[in-house]
Structure 1
């Protein structure tokens, strides 16, 4: 009788273990972002513009960025931007000159769900919409009113267009999306020249992104 009881207990324990394992087996793999190739990447841009809410524009002729992407990831963070630079001097209103110094890391994020459209984008091989978060930069220069230093922080919208098959022409277009609430905040103003500087700003620029191992990353979501 004791032996039979022990056998029944063992069978019950095994059945319980199977029951506990079954839900995860039925659920299948979790949806995730895939980036290939992952790892280190660089981005280079031509003209970038920082425009405040009263219309002042600071334009930099070139810009660059670098970072690391992981794969697969659940999101929304797809990559860490560990370096960002803007050519100096950048130009502003009335021939003024400015220097933009970034403080990183920033994050590259994908909208989850719905941030990926297969076949969308410039190259017809997929487009990812999202945003760059954790932005922090110090802008120093001189307006018609004198010297000025201020900080820019916040988030900006962005969209990554996959490269053509096997190509190195993947692009990250940074620009405000329609009806988006994302804005950069201008604060910590120091100097009389800051009297003409607004309270918020938008940023625009298009970066060509290339992986360290060659070719542009391809981003997908499934």
Structure 2
């Protein structure tokens, strides 16, 4: 015959087990990304470069982009959409080649980690630009060439100085573990020297439509 105290102990243990297994209704809010201000933004860059795995490099003198950041906070990893991207002539390459790059958007701007510091000492976001899609068309002494570029590239966003407009998006893959763009659908004799993958490099000045640069934080 079980003693009353034993029964109460068993019941208490069962209740405790259920309570531990159930999710807490009073847990704190989930950490999220904040982009301030949200909304429309533009980006402008000087020289940008596309370099394939063989070493061939196409350089464009200037580049521009524009997009939109959703109302914050957001769970991420997507922090914004890049709705337009242009690489302006002259774009030049090996063997006296000239190139034009047309893009298909939207692309995604994604954040994977946040840290103090950065170019302006106000925080830096490490992430990538995804869903990239572009058509590259050129002509050289080797003949005409058209190929498709798709994939993702590593990127870092440096927050601006307090209230400033000096926020920058640096598109420069690290020395190890870089995301690589894929090169495919190569057409034309000039494509015989084009590799299978590529990296992209450039530094964009980012400004919100209000004139300041967005500040991205994670908490």
For 1:216, the equivalent position in structure 2 comes to 213
Return the offset for 1:181.
Answer: 4.2
How far apart in 2 are the matches of 1:67 and 1:184? 21
How far apart in 2 are the matches of 1:188 and 1:103? 15
Distance 1:162 1:23, change over 3 A: same
Kindly report which structure 2 residues correspond to 1:103-142, keeping only aligned pairs within 5 A, or say none: 103-111=104-112, 115-118=113-116, 120-142=117-139
Higher-strand-fraction structure: 2
- Any idea what the Cα deviations from partners look like across 1:164-185, whole Å, max 9, x if unmatched? 0010000000011232241000
Structure 1: gaps spanning 5 or more residues: 1-18
Structure 2: gaps spanning 5 or more residues: 1-18
For 1:147, the equivalent position in structure 2 comes to 144
- Any idea what the Cα deviations from partners look like across 1:134-171, whole Å, max 9, x if unmatched? 00000000133100000000000000000000100000
How far apart in 2 are the matches of 1:165 and 1:181? 31
How far apart in 2 are the matches of 1:62 and 1:133? 21
Secondary structure of the corresponding residue to residue 194 of structure 1: helix
Higher-helix-fraction structure: 1
User: TM-score, normalised to structure 1's length?
Assistant: 0.86
How far apart in 1 are the matches of 2:119 and 2:23? 41
For 1:83, the equivalent position in structure 2 comes to 84
For 2:166, the equivalent position in structure 1 comes to 169
1:143–1:194 contact (8 Å) kept in structure 2: no
How far apart in 1 are the matches of 2:206 and 2:178? 26
Where has structure 1 moved over 2 Å in runs of 4 or more?
Answer: 22-25
For 2:98, the equivalent position in structure 1 comes to 97
User: TM-score, normalised to structure 2's length?
Assistant: 0.87
How far apart in 1 are the matches of 2:174 and 2:185? 26
